[in-house]
Structure 1
Amino acid sequence: MKILIVTLTYIEKSIIDEIINNLSGYGLEVDILLDSRKYLPISAFDWERLQYNAEKVLSFLKSTYDFSYDSIIFIADSDGYINGYNFIFGLTIDNFAIVFLNRLREEFYNRKPNLELFMERVVKEVTHEVGHTLGLGHCNTIGCVMNFSNTVEDVDKKQTKFCKNCTYKVENLSKYLRQK
């Protein structure tokens, strides 16, 4: 199963490496397309909210990218929302997803920067959105990376890994797609 990670803003290499390490453990093949700033559409930016409308961003990106990947995950060091929510950490539509990093940083909450905690949160949210692109819904198993996160504290309660049931689903899907 092939996954493409596309950075829409500058993302530190150590964070990308952590994402790859986490996803590779499930038999997923991960490719990276770094620093594609030109693809974060200004037309999706809401100047009143100072946030990107995630649905508009993904709609634009889906029309821009035509690669042969099972999942394409975009990462932006920005703030995103969808109608009805003040903010979101990520959004998946079909096999495309976007993860917004702004609210995963301690600095956003006027706290001392913590790179290790930030990296862990990014890995969790990227893994979560990859799960959605592979057909997983939200999981009720305590600690599963597929738990819904309404706050950054909810993100912190999750592990970076899928629970046993979600792992089984991802690994079986990966095996099935490799046999095709």
Structure 2
Amino acid sequence: MMYIYMAGFSVEKRLLLATAKNVKEVFGFDVRFSHIALPPTLGYNPARKQYKAQALLEYLSKVYYPDMLKLIALFPFDLYEEGLNFVFGLAQLGGRYALVSTYRLFDKREELYFNRVFKEVNHELGHTFGLMHCKTPGCVMNFSNSLWEVDAKSRFFCGNCIKILPKP
């Protein structure tokens, strides 16, 4: 049996558990939790006060479990990529590894905050399953460059995208 592994770095346990439940509901795969030690300054750019997402993703890609289908990590840091002010997440297209930053998704209203995280986790995992950005209104694979765009989409895949996802 293959699992989607999830790691959380200084992310509240309630969010991790709720996100795991979301992943199971949307993808159908059971979730296992991974404990990964992260060097504290890995990818940190003091001039920007942000972490480079690609550096964190490369570090994650060294983690392997024999029963691992995918690994998604949640970080509380503000992330960026070259040429962009920030990113909500990053994934290996068609690969195993993805990450999401909770930093800009936070809201005092827990339901809104958790739903934003669910959407971005589903989006980044979608990339690991080979999905590109989708233009179907409301599809979780819609590109998001703002909280408004995150809030406007569903946490679910459209009919076309869901056909591409594997079944457990």
Q: Which runs of 4+ in 1 moved over 4 A?
A: none
Question: 1: CA distance between counterparts of 2:55 and 2:46?
Answer: 14
Matched, 1:174 2:167: yes
Q: Give the % identical residues.
A: 35
Matched, 1:89 2:88: yes
Matching residue of 2:143: 148
SS at match of 1:105: coil
More helix by share: 1
Matched, 1:66 2:59: no
TM-score by structure 1 length?
0.84
Matching residue of 2:110: 115
Matched, 1:31 2:32: yes
Matching residue of 1:109: none
Matched, 1:4 2:2: no
**CA RMSD, aligned part only?**
1.6
The size of the alignment, in residue pairs, is 163
Check the 8 A contact 2:53/2:80 in 1, yes or no. Answer: yes
Residue 174 (structure 1) shift: 2.4
Residue 101 (structure 1) shift: 0.7
Using a 3 Å threshold, how does the CA distance of structure 1 residues 6 and 67 change in structure 2: closer, same or farther? same
Matching residue of 1:75: 74
Question: 2: CA distance between counterparts of 1:174 and 1:134?
Answer: 11
Q: Out of 111, 121, 128, which is 1:126 matched to? A: 121
Matching residue of 1:21: 21
Gaps of 5+ in 2: none
SS at match of 1:126: helix
Gaps of 5+ in 1: 107-112, 176-180
Q: Quick one: which amino acid aligns to residue 114 of structure 1?
A: R
Question: 1: CA distance between counterparts of 2:3 and 2:158?
Answer: 21
Question: 1: CA distance between counterparts of 2:70 and 2:39?
Answer: 18
Question: 2: CA distance between counterparts of 1:28 and 1:156?
Answer: 25
TM-score by structure 2 length?
0.89
Q: Which moved more, 1:159-168 or 1:117-126?
A: 159-168
Question: 2: CA distance between counterparts of 1:138 and 1:144?
Answer: 9
